Structure 1
Amino acid sequence: MREDQFNLNTSNEGFNFKSTLCNGICLKTFSNQNGTSDIILEDQVNGNNNNNNNNDSLGREMICQFLKDNENYIKGQCVLELGSCEGLCGLFAAKLGCIVVMTESRDNIPTLNENIRLNDCSLTSCAVRLNWGIQSIPELINTVPIPFDFIMASDIIIPSGIENALQLFSLVSTILKIQKRSNKDCYFLLSYIQRDHLTTSKTLDIADRFGLKYELVPYHHHHHTDGAGVGKLWKFDLKV
C-alpha cells in the first residue's frame, strides 16, 4: 500500500446531484457518467433545511472520484466510513465492489439503513452507531468485521470543531495501530473544504501528534465559484 500512487480527477463532469422533496423527505439522486449505477438517497436530517449545499457536496464528490479512479484496486476491499451522513460515499464504494461499514450517530442510523435498502446494498454494506474516540474501539471490534483496508470520511472538519478532530484522530490512529500489530496495513482518506489555513494547520498538527504522516492526493485544486473554499483530499498513514 505504501508504494501505490493515487490520483484524483476533479473535472466534476461525471457527477450530478438532483433533489426532489416528497412528503417532507428530500430524495436525492446522485448520477455519474462513468458506468456506476445511480444512487438514491433519502435525507430526513437535512432535507428540510437545505444544509447540504455545494460546500458539502464537493468533499463527497472528491471521495467518490477517488474511488472511481482507483476502482480496480479497491474492488473487494473492506472500508470503514466515518460520519457517513446519508451514505453517499459508502454506497458508491459498495457499488464499486467494496464491503462497506458506514457509521453515524444513533439518530442517523435509520436513514442510513433505508438508503442501503433503496440501493440494494444490504449484502455488501451495513450501518452502525459509532462515537469518535478510543472509548469506542471495543464496541467497534465487537460489532463490525476488522481489519479494514482503508477508512474514509468527507466534510467532517470544520473551523470550530478542533475537539472533534482530536476524537477523530485518536480513533483513526488506534485502529491503524491495532491493524499494524496484526500486519494489516490501513490508511485514512479525508476530504474537506479548506475555508481557512489555520484549521488545516491545526488538523494536520493533531494528526502528527497521534503518530500519523500525511500527503495531499495530487489533483488540480477545485475552487468553489462562490469563493467558499478549496476542496482537498488527504491520505494519512502511520509513521514508520
Structure 2
Amino acid sequence: MSTSEAAPSATAITIDDSDARGKAPAAAPAPAAPPPAAPAAPKDRRFPFLLRKTKAAGGGCKRGVACFDFLLRLCAIAATLVAAIMMGTTDETLPFFTQFFQFHANFADLPALTFFVVGNAIAAGYLVLSLPFSLAAMIRPQAIGPRLLLFVLDTVMMELTIAAASSATAIVYLAHNGSSKANWVAICLRFDGFCQSISGAVVASFIAVVFFMALVVMSALVMRKQ
C-alpha cells in the first residue's frame, strides 16, 4: 500500500513540472528598450552659423562672387576704354621755322600702336556685351552655362589684350631709349606729350589684363566647385 501511494505523488510532481515547462514558452517577452537618441551633429556646435555648409550659404557665396565679377567687368571696361582713347587721340606736331617743314607723331604711323587701339576697343566692346551674362550668373548662381561661356571668352579677350599691350610696350621702349643697332632714334626728348600718352595707354591696358586674369581665375574656381 505504501508503494502505490508513493507512485501517484511522484506522478503528480511530474505533471506539475510538465505544466511549468509547457507554460514557460507562452510567457510574454519583455518589452524592448527604446533606441538611444541620436547625438547632435558636432558641426553645429563647433562652427558659427555663417560658416555652416548649407545650400543657402553656398548659393549666397556664389551670388557674392557673381557680384564681384560684375564689378570687375565694369573696372575692365574703364581700363580698356581709357587705353584705347588715350592711344587713339595721341597726336603731336613739333613747330619749326616754316609750316612746310614739321615733324608729326601719330599712333596711325605705327602698325603696332594701331593694333593696340583695335585690340583694346574690341576688348571693351566684348566686356559691355558680357554684362547681361554676368547679371544672369548673379540672378542664377547655380547655372553653369553663362559661367562657362564667360570663362572661354574672357580667356580669349585676355590673350588679345596681352598681345596688344606687349606690342605697344616694344614701341614705347624704343621711343624712350631708341636702338643704335636698328638706327632708331629716341623721340621722347622731342615728342614729350606723345610719349606720355602712349605710356599711359600701355599702363591702362596692362591694368585691364590684371582684371581679365582675375575674372578667369574666379570663373575657373566657381566651375570647379560646381
Pick the structure with more strand per residue. 1
Q: Which has the higher contact order (CA 8 A, sep 6+)?
A: 2
TM-score band by shorter chain is under 0.3
TM-score normalised by the chain length of structure 1: 0.21
